[in-house]
C-alpha cells in the first residue's frame, strides 16, 4: 500500500494512474485530445469551463489558447497511454496538486461515462504520487515518461533493452500524446508545459536529444 504523500511547493512529483482493472481509458484521438485539453483547463484556481467553451463553438485545440486564472501546478512532462497516464509536475499553489488531479479525474470520468454510456469508477482509485527528491531520479523519470510509448511496439523493452533504436526513435517522434514532441521541436507551440520551472536540461534541445539517445543506447547495450 502506498503511503500518503503531503505535497510541498517547489518539489517535483511523479503522478500516475490507470484504468480500473487496467481497462482502457483512451479509445481514440478525441479521447486523448480531451485529456490533454483538460491538463490545460484544469490547471487553474478557477472553475473548469471546458463545456462552456465547447458550447460557444470553440474546438478542443482552440481552447488551449483561452486565458485562464492562476495555475495550480507546473507541468514538466506528460504521457498518455491506452490504459494509464504519467505526469511530472511541481506544486505551485498550496493544495494545487490535489485540486488539479481532482478536477481532471472528475471531468474526464464524466466525459467517458457519458460518451460510452458506462457507469462506475474509471480510474483505479486515487491517483498515485511519488516525491522526486534527487536529481538523478528526476532525470530518470524525464526519460522514462517520454520513452513509455515504446511499450506499444515492444512490451518487453524495459527488461530486454531496445533492439531497434531507429525504429523506436521514429515511433517516439510520431507519438502525439506526450510532451516529447515539444522538446524535440522548438517550433511547436505548447500551452501546457512550464519548462522554466524545471532544470535547464528540460529545455536544452541538444542536451535533451543526447540524453534520450544515451538512454536508448544504454538500454540497447543490455539487450
Consecutive sets of 10 residues in the chain, 223 residues long: mean pLDDT of each? Answer: 73 96 96 95 89 80 84 96 98 94 96 94 94 91 91 80 80 92 72 89 68 64 39
pLDDT score of 65: 80
Whole-angstrom distance, CA of residue 26 vs CA of residue 83: 7
Reported as a single tens digit per residue, the pLDDT across 140-155 is: 899 899 999 999 998 8
For residue 90, what are the β-bridge partners? 12, 74
DSSP annotation of 95: T
pLDDT score of 124: 93
Prediction pTM value: 0.88
Domains in the chain and their CATH numbers?
12-132 (3.30.70.1290), 135-221 (no CATH)
Amino acid at each position: 500500500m502506498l503511503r500518503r504523500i503531503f505535497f510541498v511547493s517547489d518539489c517535483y512529483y511523479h503522478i500516475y494512474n490507470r484504468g480500473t482493472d487496467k481497462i482502457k481509458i483512451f479509445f481514440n484521438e478525441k479521447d486523448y485530445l480531451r485529456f490533454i485539453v483538460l491538463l490545460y483547463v484544469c490547471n487553474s484556481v478557477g472553475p473548469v469551463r471546458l463545456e462552456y467553451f465547447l458550447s460557444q463553438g470553440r474546438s478542443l485545440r482552440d481552447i488551449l489558447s483561452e486565458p485562464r486564472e492562476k495555475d495550480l501546478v507546473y507541468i514538466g512532462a506528460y504521457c498518455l497511454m491506452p490504459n494509464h497516464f504519467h505526469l511530472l509536475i511541481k506544486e505551485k499553489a498550496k493544495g494545487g496538486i490535489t485540486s488539479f488531479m481532482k478536477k481532471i479525474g472528475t471531468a474526464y470520468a464524466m466525459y467517458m461515462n457519458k460518451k460510452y454510456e458506462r457507469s462506475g469508477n474509471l480510474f483505479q482509485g486515487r491517483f498515485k504520487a511519488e516525491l522526486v527528491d534527487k536529481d538523478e531520479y528526476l532525470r530518470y523519470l524525464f526519460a522514462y515518461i517520454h520513452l513509455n510509448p515504446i511499450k506499444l511496439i515492444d512490451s518487453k523493452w524495459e527488461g530486454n533493452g531496445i533492439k531497434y533504436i531507429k525504429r523506436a526513435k521514429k515511433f517516439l517522434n510520431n507519438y502525439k500524446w506526450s510532451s516529447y514532441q515539444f522538446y524535440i521541436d522548438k517550433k511547436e507551440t505548447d500551452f501546457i508545459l512550464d519548462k522554466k520551472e524545471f532544470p535547464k536540461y528540460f529545455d536544452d534541445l541538444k542536451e535533451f536529444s543526447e540524453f534520450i539517445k544515451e538512454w536508448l543506447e544504454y538500454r540497447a547495450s543490455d539487450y
